[in-house]
Structures are given as structure tokens and as C-alpha cells.
Amino acid sequence: MTAPMVHAQGVRKHFGKLEVLKGIDLTVERGEVCCLLGPSGSGKSTFLRCINHLEKIDGGTLAVEGELVGYRRRGARLHELREKEIAAHRRDIGMVFQRFNLFPHLTAEQNIMEAPVRVSGANTADARADARRLLKQVGLADWAGHYPAQLSGGQQQRVAIARALAMKPKLMLFDEPTSALDPELVGDVLDVMRQLAADGMTMVVVTHEIGFAREVGDTAVFMDDGVVVEAGDPRQVLVDPEQERTRAFLSKVL
Ligand code: ADP
Ligand code: MG
């Protein structure tokens, strides 16, 4: 039996006195798309950041493909991971943020080639060929030589997705990838994500795009105030939720 891609059990996180995650249980199987919804401040970004080793959890267990995040088990003991081990784990996880964070002084193609060449030691010709293929995949075949400032927000976000894919991740995390975009640019980005899901990528997507979550999500997870209020089939959770808190949230975003 293979371990789930993401397995969280009772995950806790606090910043000083503020408890942000109060025992999160969540499982994402390989090839699944899990959509995470919830009001601002409910802990969605923090949870994604924990998966990607950007925050340390304070309690519970969190594992990616059966490997604990932050710790290594040796016998009965847990040892903190070393920087190098964390870096190796993080290489398998792609992350796309609300803000595109492209390198402004590099072209679209160079942005995508950067990590494979500098981090993985790929040769430039291979990395360039890969970047071209990825640009085509995100619908930007003709934009390789353009700088971020010459691209629309939606195009920049698609380059950011291509850049994450260049490291051949097993898991993609999206944190409100369309929230900063003008409405007319949202569709192209969601289309790229939809295709990625159809190709079998495992994805955790924080989004307020209810339509996307309903169509593409295998599971929808509604979080509020650091807990999972309700989780299950998006066509149930987002259409006919059981919990009043989920219902109230949906009536605000729809
Ligand atoms: P969401 O993504 O659901 O809007 P976040 O995970 O960003 O929620 O934040 C949850 C809570 O944690 C918020 O109250 C936020 O202010 C707080 N928070 C997040 N990161 C930090 C941090 N580094 N230091 C202190 N508080 C933080
Ligand atoms: Mg957030």
C-alpha cells in the first residue's frame, strides 16, 4: 500500500499566543485535487506553508508521501531534519502564490530555467527545451523572451506555474492563484490548472473559485478558525453543506 501524498493528523501551529491551526486532519491521495476554502485568517496559507516546510508545526503529524515533514524517525526517536534534507523534500513540491514573484530581470524562459540550472544542475540546452515545452503547455509559446513587466498578471501567473513545474514536482500547492488577477484573466489560469489536474498532478488549491472547486476538485475542505469544519465531495460540500458555517461562507462568496 502506498502512502497518501499528504497526510495530516491533528496538525497544530501557533504564532505566540495565537493558535492558527487547532488540529487539522486531512488526506490527499496521489492524483487528487483538494480544494481548500475558508474565510480570511482561517489558517489556509499557514497550512500550505507547513506542507512546504516554510513553517514548523507544533503538534500532530504531517507527512508527504509517508515522509514526515520536519522530522525523521530513527527507532522510536524523532530527529529534526537537516537543511539539506529539507531542501531535498521541498524540491518535490511546487508552490504558486497569489503574487507571481517572478524574477523581474529575467525573461519568461529564463525564469523557468533558473531552478533546474542552478539548483538541479541541468544543462542549459535541456533546461531551455523544457522551458519551451512548459511555456507551450501554459499557452505562452510566443512569450519566451518577454520580461514579467511586459506580461499581464494572468500571463505572469502562468509563467509562475510553468516555473514550478520545471522542477518536476510530485505535488503542487496553489495559494489563491487567481485572487490578485483582473476577472478577465482568471479563466486562462484556471484552464491551465484544470489541464494539470487532468494530466494527473496532485494538487492542493486554496481558492475562492467555487466553480473550479466543484468541477475540478476531488475533495473540498472548508476551514474556519484553524479547524476543518467540513470536508468531502465538492458537489456536496459546496452545493448542499451540512454545517451552518460552511453555508454562511458560501452565501458570501457566491
Ligand atoms: P488564511 O490564509 O486562511 O487567510 P493565514 O494562514 O494566512 O490564513 O493566517 C491565519 C492567522 O495566522 C491570521 O490571523 C494571521 O494573521 C496569522 N499569521 C499568519 N502568519 C503569521 C506569522 N508569521 N506571524 C504571526 N501571525 C501569523
Ligand atoms: Mg491565505
Please check whether residue 1 lies inside any domain of the structure. Answer: no
Protein residue with least CA distance to atom 25, ligand 1: 15
Query: Minimum-distance ligand to the CA of 20?
Result: 1
Q: Whose CA is nearest to atom 13 of ligand 1?
A: 41
Least confident of 8-22, 36-50, 63-77, 111-125: 63-77
The pick from 11, 13, 15, 17 for probing ligand 1's pocket by mutation, whose C-beta has the most ligand atoms within 8 angstroms, reads: 15
Q: Is residue 85 part of a domain?
A: yes
Query: Would you put residue 57 in left (φ > 0), alpha (ψ -120 to 50) or beta?
Result: beta
CA of 20 to the centre of ligand 1 (A): 7
Question: Measuring CA to CA, which residue among 225, 200, 197, 227 is closest to residue 213?
Answer: 197
Q: Length of the chain, please? A: 254
Residues 50-54, mean pLDDT to the nearest whole number = 94
Ligand 1 pocket (Cβ < 6 Å) reads 15, 18, 20, 38, 40-46
Residue 228 within any structural domain of the chain:
yes
Mutate to test the pocket of ligand 1, among 26, 46, 52, 56 (most ligand atoms within 8 A of CB): 46
pLDDT band for 81, please (50, 70, 90 cuts). confident
DSSP state of 84: H
What residue's CA is closest to ligand 1, atom 26? 15
Strand order in the sheet with 6-15: 18-28, 6-15, 59-64, 67-68
237 lies in some domain: yes
Domain that holds residue 166: 6-251
Instruction: State the closest ligand 1 atom to the C-alpha of 42, by its place in the atom list counted from 1.
Output: 3
Give the residue-averaged pLDDT of 66-79: 79
Instruction: Indicate whether 218 belongs to any domain.
Output: yes
Taking alpha carbons only, the member of 187, 225, 227 closest to residue 209 is 187
What is the CATH number for 73?
A: 3.40.50.300
pLDDT tens-digit readout, 229-239: 999 999 999 99
Of 192, 189, 159, nearest in space to 176 by CA:
189
pLDDT at 1 over 80: no
Total domains in the chain come to 1
Q: CA 97, CA 174: separation in Å to the nearest integer? A: 6
Q: Quote the pLDDT of residue 203.
A: 98
Ligand nearest to the CA of 223: 1
Closest CA to 168 of 63, 69, 94: 94
Task: Measure 199 CA to ligand 2 centroid, in angstroms.
Answer: 26
Structural domain includes residue 137: yes
